[in-house]
Structure 1
């Protein structure tokens, strides 16, 4: 089926958005459920050090990906040429080149990273784990075409299948090897399986190597600001582990990673839905449309309210959940859940605004807010960690997000999507629920301070 044919399979953007959101939510819940089950099994097969080492490897891989992100997916989703074969094939060619370059860079980074973190295994694991980046480079642009037109059923099912098969491979390897290598090879297997499934079963024209000057120019111009934004995105998404790798013991980092894994479920779901659904909606409503704006306001409030509710439940019940699921070695992860969920309740308030800039081609504006968020969050995290350890880092992040509010509000106002009532109401709710969760679970929060015996800082 051609890309034009794929684009023609439409009914109405709001109906497709609703169905797409449902597909994403169901797939996400299923995938995270299986990841949780596998995580529980892995914590009984492996030691906390394995999760700490893999957390650092993941930081490095995500850093390489984000420091080279040219925004191919968002470019296809928002461009007027997003369905043209020459444009898509040029984008695919850029993806492949990027994947190969990333693997070479990962191999060169392996030894210095092992020395920096004083973990020799990183030098061996990173070149192998980075093969996942090569496989990702060959993924067909039909994935982005489906996202562009909110035809998300097949792509989410294939993504879920590849995730489940990759988890199965990881568990088998963990049972056989009982080493961190099972985590690294499992991630490579997942990327390879995703490539095979997406290539074989996604409808649309097959990609070919192609370089069209005009398409390349548009992609690189749009991608320049996305690249800078992604550098900032690395600090936002992985900066905590990169910093804590120097503040915490490797066992402590593994415990932190378990707590962060559980705490981030709602924000990951919200980010996935908004990134894949809102760009097409904003793109098709470039002018002020009262009906569309009312629907956006309603959608935004439903998303924000649902995410804050989910985070509040996890924050209040974090220690109970950790003690129920994990053995005593990971009990301090409950305090991490409380702290992260409390901070993320503030973060989700602004989750739907920056996609308006991308949908209208304003990648520069997207970069400005990304840089502000990264700079403020990193500064708050590092300053807090220096004075009060892990607990201070969490508090520093919360303060940074409050300072960030006017920056993202200005971007939303400039693109005609700012909702002041939404921000004020949900900020008050987030602060009250976050404070309540910290008060109820204060004994677990105390474990995050240096000298508390929580296991984060070593003997």
Structure 2
């Protein structure tokens, strides 16, 4: 048990290091690209990427998660599954090229034909990379995957910046996607040594189909729920409006994707070894939940009150229309960071059917909220509607995971958030008190708000005795010094 605990911590540390290095690189690259490209450029790519992402999900069919979960698969089975994805990737690439024409007609813009045709290559590489990537995760080769992600990300963004500088507009983002998907696949297949079979056995696929089917269904439904806003905004508002909204949405996703998804990808491969021990998984997840929850409240409050500074520094003054969207979406970060981790736990328990059930309850609500936002013709209203839908999702998700999956009290679980509510209220009061202090320099203003937010956050942690949940983020040598200090202090008080 201790060995697994160390593995989880080590894997998390590797993923955190890789993710945060990648975050810094992405922020720098996007800051440069936002000054070279227009909102219309980003809007065009935001529309077409919705479709490419869907095709990748369509090809996955939950196979990646199924390969990780099933411990009885032989190398021959995995080669068969991999071979099937190659055929699927080629077929989907051809279908996507044809789909570019109706997309062009629907949005009344011929540019989607060449852009869609180029991105069909990205669909192919992303599809055939599903199994190689799953094998790396199953083998817990997190360090290799992390380093590889950083190197490929740097390469793709350098290419995109050069193309954008020379006036290739949205094609710079198209090529960035192509470089990212193709180089990732080539390096992953070289590491995993998977073999292509001209005639593969579907019996190998059947071994994981029961688990994968619900996972696939969840991903497809969740995908449409998360992308309907972009599809409808691009159609009923404008590419520019979508560009402003998508920049705020993507910035909001940074902490969600790069904090939650630092931990989530490693939870499934490691905790799936204990799928018959619910108490063990629940105990481990509670620690992860509290860590994500406490980080989430700090980021939510900070993003809400610092939206102006963040947008101006990262994207520039031309993106001022994105500020109210960022503030609204920032409110949901706390709820998203925690609930986004649920998928890995459903999979670790082998309860993908329950995960599927939860998303079918949530999606109708989210779609209604998106339609309300789009019909308002206002991207700020849309942002608030989407944010509220994510908050509702939080409660639905934990009703099923805690109440049905772990057979625990949902009310008792939610009461664990009482300290977070107190800290949020404390931080909001302080930020409201200082928000009218004039500061002309956006960098100084951001630093000032960050310092005030951080100090209040730490005070709240101490007052509510929640600091212990953030200790896993501190290196061992400092944790040991802190523990020894607390021990000496308690002994002194005792004497």
More displaced 10-residue stretch of structure 1: 136-145 or 369-378 = 136-145
Contact residue 69 and residue 227 of structure 1 kept, 8 A: yes
Aligned to 2:183: 193
Deviation at 1:44, TM superposition (A): 2.2
Distance in 1, Cα, partners of 2:433 & 2:91:
49
Q: Distance in 1 between matches of 2:220 and 2:428?
A: 32
Say yes or no: does 1:25 pair with 2:27.
no
* Matching of residues 390-401 of structure 1 within 5 Å: 390-401=379-390
Q: Paired residue for 2:302?
A: 313
1:208 to 196, 199, 206: 196
Structure 2 Cα separation of the partners of residues 315 and 185 of structure 1: 33
Structure 2, unmatched stretches of 5+, are: 437-495
Find the counterpart in structure 1 of residue 55 from structure 2. Answer: 64
Structure 1, 272-281 or 116-125: larger mean CA deviation: 272-281
Distance 1:346 1:114, change over 3 A: same
The structural deviation recorded for 1:74 is 0.6
Residue ranges of structure 1 left out of the alignment (5+ in a row)? 1-9, 444-459
Q: Report if the CA contact (8 A) 1:305-1:426 is conserved.
A: no
Task: Report whether the alignment pairs 1:34 with 2:25.
Answer: yes
Which residue, out of 354, 360, 385, partners 1:365? 354
Q: Which has the higher helix share?
A: 2
Deviation at 1:154, TM superposition (A): 0.6
TM-score after normalising by structure 2: 0.79
Aligned to 1:6: none
Over residues 41-97 of structure 1, what are the superposed CA-to-partner deviations in whole Å (9 max), with x where a residue is unaligned? 222222221111111111111122224431121111111224x20221122112212
Q: CA deviation at 1:330?
A: 0.6
Q: CA deviation at 1:250?
A: 1.4
Deviates more, 1:273-282 or 1:386-395: 386-395
Cross-structure match for 1:182: 172
Q: Are the counterparts in 2 of residues 244 and 253 from structure 1 also a CA contact under 8 Å?
A: yes
Matched, 1:75 2:63: no
2:283 is the counterpart of 1:294: yes
Q: Report if aligned partners of 1:32, 1:265 keep a CA contact under 8 Å in 2.
A: yes
8 Å contact from structure 1 (residues 49, 251) kept in 2: yes
Q: 1:272 to 1:401 in 2, by over 3 A?
A: closer
Check conservation: 1:256, 1:333, Cα contact below 8 A: yes
Partner of 2:473: none
Q: Structure 1's 302 and 175: CA in aligned 2 closer, same or farther, altered over 3 A?
A: same
Which secondary structure does the structure 1 equivalent of 2:332 belong to? Answer: helix
| Alpha carbons 1:162, 1:190 under 8 Å: kept | yes
Show CA shifts across 1:144-203 (max 9, x none). 233124330011111221111111111122222332111111211121111222233x2x
Residues 114, 323 of structure 1: CA spacing in aligned structure 2 closer, same or farther, 3 A cutoff? Answer: same
Partner deviation per Cα, 1:382-417 (whole Å, 9 max, x = no partner): 123324733333333344345441454223333227
1:96 corresponds to which residue?
86
Question: Contact 1:54 / 1:184 at 8 angstroms: preserved in 2?
Answer: yes
Would you say the 8 A contact 2:343–2:355 is kept in 1? yes
Matched-pair contact (CA < 8 Å) for 2:225–2:367: yes
Q: Normalising by the residue count of structure 1, what TM-score does the alignment of the two structures yield?
A: 0.85
Q: Indicate conservation of the 8 Å contact 1:315/1:338, yes or no.
A: yes
Tell me if 1:109 matches 2:99.
Answer: yes
CA distance in 2, matches of 1:105, 1:293: 43
- The correspondence for 1:87, drawn from 48, 70, 77, is 77
Contact 1:304 1:348 in 2 (8 A): yes
Q: Mean Cα displacement is larger for which, 71-80 or 348-357?
A: 348-357
Partner Cα distance (2:232, 2:239) in 1: 12
1:138 aligns with 2:128: yes
Q: Is the 8 A contact 1:114 1:120 kept in 2?
A: yes
Q: SS of the counterpart of 1:207? A: coil
Q: Say if 2:336 and 2:391, in contact at 8 Å, map to a contact too.
A: no
Contact 2:54/2:223, CA 8 A, preserved across alignment: yes
Q: In structure 2, what is the Cα distance between the partners aligned to 1:194 and 1:79? A: 24
Aligned equivalent of 2:475: none
| RMSD across aligned positions (CA) | 3.0
More displaced 10-residue stretch of structure 1: 120-129 or 24-33: 24-33
* In 2, Cα distance between equivalents of 1:368 and 1:289: 20
Q: Secondary structure at the match of 2:93?
A: helix
8 Å contact 2:241–2:379 — kept in the other structure? no
Give the C-alpha shift of residue 424 in structure 1.
Answer: 3.9
Q: Secondary structure at the match of 2:112?
A: helix
2-side partners of 1:438 and 1:330: how far apart? Answer: 24
Q: Does the CA-based 8 Å contact 2:299-2:334 persist in structure 1?
A: no
CA distance in 2, matches of 1:11, 1:294: 14
CA contact (8 A) 1:99 1:135 kept: yes
Provide Cα deviations, 1:234-272, integer angstroms capped at 9, x if missing partner.
123322211211233211211222222222111112442
Which one of 297, 304, 309 corresponds to residue 293 of structure 2?
304
Aligned residues of 2:296 and 2:335 also touching (Cα < 8 A): no
CA distance in 1, matches of 2:431, 2:368: 22
Q: 1:335 and 2:324 equivalent?
A: yes
Is the counterpart of residue 154 in structure 1 residue 163 in structure 2?
A: no
For the residue of structure 2 that corresponds to 1:177, the secondary structure is coil
